[in-house]
């Protein structure tokens, strides 16, 4: 199965020692001269064991079908110079001879020449007394960065009275008299694996040594070969909650799996570094790794070198070490520490002084005593670079959590009785270790998240830019040395690539799950960064503030909620999560016992082993309930592998096909593709006749053709050095992070090019950028008196402060927040003087007042609630403040009228851009230039956008699922799911949710109790057509790519897919049944309808309707109602057509095409609309032969969607309003057949409608606007 099957546990097994002749010679000399201390010998490879151990011919002889995967590698190898004696000995023992012409094939990344010195890194010595067995661990890295792992077991064999044991063979030769001294020769067995099974392989080798020790006439080679053959038959378990157990006798050896496909495999004790180092030292070592220093670990125990090094690699996950990693250096390899680049290596403690003197700038870490030092080869010690400190808050949280770790097993278990069963003792220890490992993983991941959480705030995803300069400005002064070094590393560069690729790895998941509510709200709106009042208070008094959360289990009463003034984001002062990070509930892990392998070198026995393995897996699959799909997927995966081993390729492909319905994350795409490409013609023909296999084959081959190179470059933001035309300017502004909206950037371009050519020079851009960033920075330093803060809302931010001016309320500075204007009074009565909220402003004027011979520019603001007009002598600032206040006033009115808080955020951005333009330009036309950015004020004056009274009364709120995107995205479909008080879920996850399907497979999920965005993910890259909640834990999403994606509502991840449709999935409905599991029906545009068992995801029925296009289906009274464009078919659940609902038309009329329809069961009605028509058609379901009643909707161009709510039909589409085509909703009374309301709430066509508990209706618009409106149902 060369180059196809995933590697088994064993890649290669090697016996290392010295030749028998060499041992004989050394012992004779030693006895003759009475030598007690031997000179070191040069170890060599004595035997190599490489799978497969059953040849192709042997498999054929045992009726196993040969196939393209069979290898013909040689199974073992022995040094040729001993061949004559060995072969004669083998003949005596009945062993088969290996043909001398046969060559061994060793994996290309295993260096047999360098292996002996790594198996005996301290040297090879014959001794006069036996020593305990010793284990250590190796890590090999190839040129591509792929790692292979080795576990080495050293053991000693005696040489006495002519009984020599070497190369695994017994010899009876007289060396000396019976009084001769005993000598002991070391040997090493090295098992090399693709997987870091440190503990498991150590257990296996421990069992092997027990068998090797007492041997007499049994060859060591045969024993090791049988051992290697067993390991070569053990597959590595797929990622997930299933570990494999193998009886190696006397131990039960567990081969653990990775937690998920993105996680590393962990089979060691992660707490070891905390037993060797204090928490602060652990942080220092992590810092050295993150800053890519030259690091050398030292210990007197070779095993610790690799284990400690590996632990630190795992602590950093998902950040990855990119440089040389050699945790064990033998004596001959010490010059490696002279390498000029970063590295992490390990040496024996005996070489500490030698290494520290020979190499520069090394971090020397003594594992045995916990010391960390630096090499002293610098002439001036002041030149030695310091190890910067990990950011303070992250370090404090980490240390606090470390101090709470239960690191000592004996302390934890001292109250328990002594175990009398070895298996029970093993299990206790393993359970304790797994729990501790899990805690350490979570703790170290939290550390990485706390260090790098705010990196995302300085990323531009569209242009793949990281603004390192601005990121550094938000760091605390004491933390900057750390970040300055880290930001220059390859590790951080790779980390940035993953963030820009929006990889949903462990970092992203934890970062999202620990995100504050404030950050969730901020992410919905693209706001400039400013300090909220709450943060100002917290900065002064309580660094660890908590934001209160709304915990309602159902929809809010939206009539009581005014559009929120959402908080702006401030990176530098965001609180870090200090509580011991939410302790994750330990995921339950199952074990599967691998069958016994009795004679692994006999083909028939191996065949029996595969049959047993397959049967055990089949039994496990049959008794497992379908709800446990995660475990089912692992069983299918393993059975697929065993099927490939047996040569049953089609059975294997069927098992892999089942992964789509159980856990698609572990689907082995490359493996399946290679199997498909090498299928024999007979198997390929059979596969083509099975629909599920035919679909699988086309999918994996199509995916291969679709593979495109991922853009993974990362660009650091830099100011432009050349003149910019409009398109280049748009890109540069978006890269800078100032604003993303293209229309706003176009207005900014016009403002900055007033009175000159339509291009911007680098100096103008630089002045504008610097002024923007300076005002942003100055806003962080605004320090309001407590009496002022008390008067403001906690989420208000001061966006602009004037110079100190004279007003009719005294001298002070005018402050502008997103909600109001107030005077920060100075002098005798310092404090807060309210000027006006933007909602309360009645009039704003810019005028002049006489003072002696001068006319001083003055701003006058009249508030509706106050008689006195506020006047401020703003002098040179007056025109700018006049523009800014009018823009905010107009923006607030728009926000209130349209119930859309984003308008006020956009107005704020416009105001700050005006301010930056005025600050950056040196021109007499700066106010005219700034006025180019006055968008809402011009809109109010030039094109008044009156919101109809009915719309204003019914519209409660608007949200923008495209917030943060460059362009608005069309809302393709909406789904509301009610709240569930499920104990499995976190409290916030129990809230009702609004699911919004956007373009290119994107899905945004909102908490429907706060309307804050909770999740955003992508399923495929095609248009999403439909969504339904199939059961409490599943949302099914039908896509244009013909796949149904199944979302787990707990994890918000897509682990399952249904691939049985051949064209785009147009609709999915669920029929709830009390007595049995629910049944779902899905349809595709080619007329296929499939009935699914929701629990098992198996196809109950499938039928084809006689039509060219099937658009949607409904279920009512035991029948399926299917809209096929020209008519509606009423069919049985098995596909028999019972009735047809036809459109009545004259023969001269053009044919009508149905666009949408809805059933009204309570009134025995079916409602429908046609493409390009303003008419509604209503049939009576009890008499479908009667022509439909037609209702023409006034000023309507087309009806695109409809939803039954109480006794009303809410109809969405587009039509004429105030002389423009806009998105419209008509509320039609089902009894009177009259339009009760005509609602105009969208700039674009209404594309989607859904109902929320019949209390609210939610509508989504096309890409012209891309927003969701929330309407109150009367």
Is pLDDT at 385 greater than 90 in this prediction?
no
String of DSSP letters for 1121-1185? EEE-SSEEEEEETTS-EEEEEEPP--TTSPPP-EEEEEEEGGGTEEEEEETT--EEEEEETT-TT
Provide mean pLDDT across the span 506-518: 83
Q: Would you state the pLDDT for residue 709? A: 58
Q: Which two tokens stand for residue 737?
A: 């992070």
Is pLDDT at 497 greater than 90 in this prediction?
yes
String of DSSP letters for 656-671? HHTHHHH-GGG--HHH
Please state, in angstroms and rounded to a whole number, the distance separating the CA atoms of residues 258 and 906.
46
Provide mean pLDDT across the span 63-70: 43
Of 30 and 299, which is predicted with more confidence? 299
Which of 369-378, 738-747, 931-940 bottoms out in mean pLDDT, i.e. has the lowest? 369-378
Q: How confident is the model at residue 948 (pLDDT cuts 50, 70, 90)?
A: confident
Please state, in angstroms and rounded to a whole number, the distance separating the CA atoms of residues 339 and 343.
8
Mean pLDDT of the chain: 84
Q: Would you state the pLDDT for residue 31? A: 73
Is pLDDT at 476 greater than 70 in this prediction?
yes
Of 32 and 178, which is predicted with more confidence? 32
Handedness of CA 617, 620, 624, 628 (dihedral sign): negative
Which of 437-441, 1012-1016, 1258-1262 bottoms out in mean pLDDT, i.e. has the lowest? 1012-1016
Q: Which two tokens stand for residue 667?
A: 């689907």
Provide mean pLDDT across the span 413-419: 77
Q: Which two tokens stand for residue 984?
A: 């499995």
Residues 95-113 have pLDDT tens digits of 333 334 345 667 776 788 8
Of 22 and 490, which is predicted with more confidence? 490
Is pLDDT at 331 greater than 50 in this prediction?
yes
Q: Which two tokens stand for residue 158?
A: 């005696």
Q: How many CB atoms lie within 10 A of CB 1172?
A: 12
Is pLDDT at 987 greater than 90 in this prediction?
no
Is pLDDT at 389 greater than 60 in this prediction?
yes
Provide mean pLDDT across the span 800-806: 91
Contacts of residue 268, Cβ cutoff 8 Å, sequence gap at least 6: 196, 198, 199, 307, 310, 311
Q: Would you state the pLDDT for residue 35? A: 66
Q: Is 260 helix (H, G, I), strand (E, B) or coil?
A: coil
Q: Would you state the pLDDT for residue 61? A: 62
Q: How confident is the model at residue 174 (pLDDT cuts 50, 70, 90)?
A: very low
Is pLDDT at 607 greater than 80 in this prediction?
yes
Provide mean pLDDT across the span 156-165: 63
Q: How confident is the model at residue 1072 (pLDDT cuts 50, 70, 90)?
A: confident
Beta-bridge mates of residue 1214: 1198, 1223
Instruction: Give the H/E segment covering residue 14.
Output: strand 12-17
Q: Would you state the pLDDT for residue 421? A: 77
Q: Would you state the pLDDT for residue 22? A: 84
CB 395 within 8 A of CB 389: yes
Handedness of CA 963, 964, 966, 971 (dihedral sign): negative
CB 723 within 8 A of CB 759: yes
Contacts of residue 1085, Cβ cutoff 8 Å, sequence gap at least 6: 1063, 1064, 1066, 1109, 1110, 1111
Q: Which two tokens stand for residue 999?
A: 């373009």
Q: Would you state the pLDDT for residue 1112? A: 94
Provide mean pLDDT across the span 629-642: 94
Q: Would you state the pLDDT for residue 238? A: 94
Q: What percent of the chain has pLDDT over 90?
A: 52
Q: Would you state the pLDDT for residue 594? A: 95
CB 802 within 8 A of CB 790: no
Q: Would you state the pLDDT for residue 539? A: 57
Place of tokens 């090999």: 140
Provide mean pLDDT across the span 908-916: 93
Provide mean pLDDT across the span 646-651: 90
Provide mean pLDDT across the span 996-1003: 92
Cis peptide before 250 (omega within 30 of 0): yes
Which of 566-575, 984-993, 1098-1107 bottoms out in mean pLDDT, i.e. has the lowest? 566-575
Q: Would you state the pLDDT for residue 361? A: 86
Provide mean pLDDT across the span 729-753: 91
Is pLDDT at 335 greater than 70 in this prediction?
yes
Is pLDDT at 1214 greater than 90 in this prediction?
yes
Q: Would you state the pLDDT for residue 218? A: 52
Instruction: Give the H/E segment covering residue 211.
Output: helix 198-212
Q: How confident is the model at residue 1219 (pLDDT cuts 50, 70, 90)?
A: confident
CB 675 within 8 A of CB 5: no
Q: Which two tokens stand for residue 1120?
A: 């399926």
Q: Would you state the pLDDT for residue 191? A: 97
Q: Would you state the pLDDT for residue 536? A: 61
Place of tokens 């009156």: 946
Q: How confident is the model at residue 521 (pLDDT cuts 50, 70, 90)?
A: low
Is pLDDT at 813 greater than 70 in this prediction?
yes
CB 672 within 8 A of CB 700: yes
Contacts of residue 1059, Cβ cutoff 8 Å, sequence gap at least 6: 660, 695, 696, 699, 1042, 1043
Is pLDDT at 618 greater than 90 in this prediction?
yes
Q: Would you state the pLDDT for residue 708? A: 53
Which of 116-120, 772-776, 881-885, 969-973 bottoms out in mean pLDDT, i.e. has the lowest? 772-776
Contacts 24+ apart (CB under 8 A), 830-836: 830/785, 831/785, 831/787, 831/788, 832/787, 832/788, 832/791, 833/809, 834/791, 835/809, 835/861, 835/863, 835/870, 836/861, 836/863, 836/865, 836/866, 836/870
Is pLDDT at 889 greater than 90 in this prediction?
yes
Provide mean pLDDT across the span 497-507: 91
Please state, in angstroms and rounded to a whole number, the distance separating the CA atoms of residues 1193 and 1199.
9
Please state, in angstroms and rounded to a whole number, the distance separating the CA atoms of residues 156 and 135.
12
Q: In degrees to the nearest 10, what's the CA dihedral of 149, 257, 229, 46? A: 10
Provide mean pLDDT across the span 360-366: 91
Is pLDDT at 495 greater than 90 in this prediction?
yes
Residues 711-737 have pLDDT tens digits of 678 888 999 999 999 999 999 999 988
Please state, in angstroms and rounded to a whole number, the distance separating the CA atoms of residues 170 and 149.
31
Provide mean pLDDT across the span 825-849: 87
Q: What is the CA radius of gyration of the chain?
A: 37
String of DSSP letters for 1168-1200? EEETT--EEEEEETT-TTSPPEEEEPTTEEEEE
Q: Would you state the pLDDT for residue 1078? A: 84
Please state, in angstroms and rounded to a whole number, the distance separating the CA atoms of residues 819 and 892.
8
Is pLDDT at 1168 greater than 80 in this prediction?
yes
């Amino acid at each position: 199965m060369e180059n196809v099957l995933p590697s088994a546990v064993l890649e290669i097994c090697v016996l290392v020692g010295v030749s028998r002749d060499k041992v004989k010679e050394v012992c004779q000399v030693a006895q003759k001269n009475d030598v007690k201390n031997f000179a070191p010998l040069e170890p060599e490879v004595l035997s190599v064991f490489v799978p497969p151990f059953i040849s192709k011919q042997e498999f054929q002889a045992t009726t196993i079908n040969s196939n393209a995967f069979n290898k013909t590698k040689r199974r073992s190898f022995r040094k040729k110079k001993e061949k004559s004696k060995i072969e004669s000995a083998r003949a005596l023992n009945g062993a088969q001879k290996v043909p001398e012409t046969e060559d061994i094939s060793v994996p290309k990344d295993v260096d047999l020449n360098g292996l002996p010195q790594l198996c005996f890194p301290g040297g090879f010595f014959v001794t006069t007394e036996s020593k305990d067995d010793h284990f250590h661990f190796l890590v090999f890295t190839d040129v591509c960065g792929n790692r292979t792992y080795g576990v080495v077991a050293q053991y000693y064999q005696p040489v006495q009275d002519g009984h020599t044991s070497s190369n695994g063979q017994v010899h009876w030769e007289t060396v000396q008299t019976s009084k001769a001294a005993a000598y002991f020769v070391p040997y090493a067995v090295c098992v090399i694996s693709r997987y870091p099974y440190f503990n498991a392989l150590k257990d296996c080798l421990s069992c092997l040594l027990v068998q090797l020790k007492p041997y007499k006439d049994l060859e060591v080679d045969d024993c090791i070969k049988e051992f290697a053959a067993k390991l070569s038959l053990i597959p590595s378990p797929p990622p997930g909650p299933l570990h494999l157990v193998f009886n190696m006798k006397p131990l039960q050896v567990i081969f653990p799996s990775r937690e998920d496909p993105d996680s590393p495999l962990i089979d060691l004790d992660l707490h070891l570094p905390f037993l060797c180092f204090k928490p602060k030292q652990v942080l220092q070592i992590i810092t050295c790794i993150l800053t890519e220093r030259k690091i050398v670990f030292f210990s007197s125990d070779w095993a610790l070198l690799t284990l400690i090094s590996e632990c630190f690699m795992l602590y950093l996950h998902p950040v990855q070490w990119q440089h040389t990693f050699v945790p064990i250096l033998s004596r001959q390899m010490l010059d490696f520490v002279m390498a000029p680049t970063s590295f992490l290596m390990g040496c024996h403690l005996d070489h500490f002084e030698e290494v520290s003197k020979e190499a520069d700038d090394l971090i020397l870490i003594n594992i045995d005593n916990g010391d960390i030092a630096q090499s002293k080869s610098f002439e001036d010690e002041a030149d030695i670079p310091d190890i910067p400190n990990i950011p303070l808050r992250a370090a404090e949280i980490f240390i606090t959590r470390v101090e709470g770790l239960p690191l000592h097993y004996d302390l934890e278990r001292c109250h328990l009785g002594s175990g009398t069963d070895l298996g029970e003792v093993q299990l206790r220890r393993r359970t304790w270790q797994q729990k501790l490992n899990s805690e350490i993983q979570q703790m170290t991941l939290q550390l990485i998240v706390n260090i790098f959480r705010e990196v995302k705030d300085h990323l531009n995803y569209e242009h793949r830019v990281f603004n390192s300069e601005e990121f550094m400005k938000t760091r605390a002064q004491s933390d900057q040395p750390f970040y300055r070094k880290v930001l220059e590393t390859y590790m951080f560069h790779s980390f940035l690539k993953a963030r820009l690729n929006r990889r949903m790895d462990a970092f992203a998941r934890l970062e999202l799950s620990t995100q504050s509510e404030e950050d969730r709200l901020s992410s919905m709106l693209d706001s400039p960064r400013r300090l909220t009042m709450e943060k100002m208070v917290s900065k002064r008094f309580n660094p660890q503030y908590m934001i209160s959360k709304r915990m309602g289990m159902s929809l809010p009463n939206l009539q009581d909620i005014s559009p929120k003034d959402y908080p702006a984001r401030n990176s530098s002062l965001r609180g870090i999560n200090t509580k011991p990070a939410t302790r994750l509930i330990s995921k339950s892990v199952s074990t599967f016992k691998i069958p016994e392998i009795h004679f692994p070198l006999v083909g028939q026995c191996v065949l029996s082993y595969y049959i047993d393995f397959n049967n055990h897996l089949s039994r496990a699959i049959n008794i497992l309930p379908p709800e446990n799909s995660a475990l089912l997927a692992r069983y299918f995966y393993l059975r697929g592998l065993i099927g490939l081993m047996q040569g049953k390729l089609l059975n294997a492909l069927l098992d892999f096909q089942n992964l789509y319905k159980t856990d698609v994350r572990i689907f082995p795409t490359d493996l399946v593709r290679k199997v498909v490409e090498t299928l024999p013609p007979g198997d390929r023909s059979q596969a083509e006749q099975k629909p599920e296999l035919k679909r699988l084959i086309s999918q994996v081959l199509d995916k291969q053709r679709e593979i495109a190179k991922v853009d993974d470059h990362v660009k650091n933001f830099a100011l432009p050095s050349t003149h910019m035309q409009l398109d280049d300017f748009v890109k540069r502004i978006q890269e800078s992070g100032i604003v993303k909206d293209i229309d706003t950037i176009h207005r900014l371009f016009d403002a900055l090019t007033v009175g000159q050519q339509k291009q911007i020079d680098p100096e103008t851009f630089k002045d504008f950028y610097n002024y923007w960033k300076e005002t942003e920075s100055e806003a962080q330093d605004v320090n309001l008196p407590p009496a002022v803060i008390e008067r403001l809302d906690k989420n208000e931010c001061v966006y602009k402060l004037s110079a100190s001016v004279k007003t009719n309320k005294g001298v002070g500075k005018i402050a502008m927040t997103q909600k109001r204007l107030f005077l920060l009074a100075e002098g005798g009565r310092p404090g807060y003087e309210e000027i006006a909220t933007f909602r309360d402003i009645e009039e704003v004027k810019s005028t002049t007042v006489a003072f002696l011979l001068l006319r001083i520019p003055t701003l006058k603001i009249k508030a509706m609630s106050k008689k006195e007009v506020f006047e401020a002598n703003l002098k040179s600032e007056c025109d700018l403040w006049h523009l800014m206040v009018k823009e905010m006033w107009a923006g607030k009115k728009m926000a209130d009228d349209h119930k859309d808080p984003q308008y006020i955020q956009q107005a704020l951005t416009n105001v700050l851009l005006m301010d930056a333009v005025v600050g950056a330009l040196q021109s007499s036309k700066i106010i005219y230039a700034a006025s180019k950015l006055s968008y809402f004020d011009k809109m109010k004056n030039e094109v008044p956008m009156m919101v109809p009274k009915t719309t204003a009364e019914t519209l409660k709120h608007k949200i923008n699922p495209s917030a943060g995107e460059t362009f608005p995205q069309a809302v393709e479909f909406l789904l509301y799911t009610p709240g569930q008080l499920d104990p499995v879920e976190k409290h916030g996850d129990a809230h009702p949710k609004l699911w919004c399907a956007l373009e290119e497979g994107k899905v945004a999920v909102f908490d429907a109790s706060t309307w804050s965005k909770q999740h955003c993910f992508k399923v495929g890259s095609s248009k999403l057509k439909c969504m339904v909640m199939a059961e409490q834990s599943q949302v099914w999403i039908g896509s244009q790519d013909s796949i149904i994606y199944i979302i787990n509502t707990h994890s918000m991840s897509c682990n399952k897919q249904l691939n049985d449709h051949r064209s785009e999935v147009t609709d999915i409905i669920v029929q709830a049944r009390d007595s049995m599991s629910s049944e779902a029906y899905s349809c595709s545009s080619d007329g296929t309808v499939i009935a699914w068992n929701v629990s098992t995801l198996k196809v109950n029925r499938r039928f084809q309707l006689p039509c060219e296009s099937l658009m949607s289906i409904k279920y009512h009274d035991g029948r399926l109602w299917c809209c096929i464009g020209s008519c509606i078919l009423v069919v049985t659940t098995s596909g028999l057509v019972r009735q047809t609902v036809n459109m009545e038309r004259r023969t001269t009329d053009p044919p009508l095409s149905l666009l949408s329809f809805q059933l009204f069961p309570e009134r025995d009605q079916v409602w429908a609309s046609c493409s390009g028509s303003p008419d509604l058609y209503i049939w009576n379901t009890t008499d479908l032969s009667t022509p439909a009643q037609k209702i023409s909707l006034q000023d309507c161009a087309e009806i695109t969607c409809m939803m039954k709510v109480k006794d009303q039909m809410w109809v969405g589409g587009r039509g004429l309003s105030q002389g423009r085509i806009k998105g419209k909703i008509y509320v039609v009374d089902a009894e009177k057949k009259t339009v009760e309301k005509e609602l105009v709430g969208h700039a674009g066509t209404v594309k989607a409608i859904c109902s929320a508990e019949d209390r609210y209706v939610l509508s989504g618009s096309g890409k012209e606007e891309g927003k969701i409106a929330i309407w109150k149902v009367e």
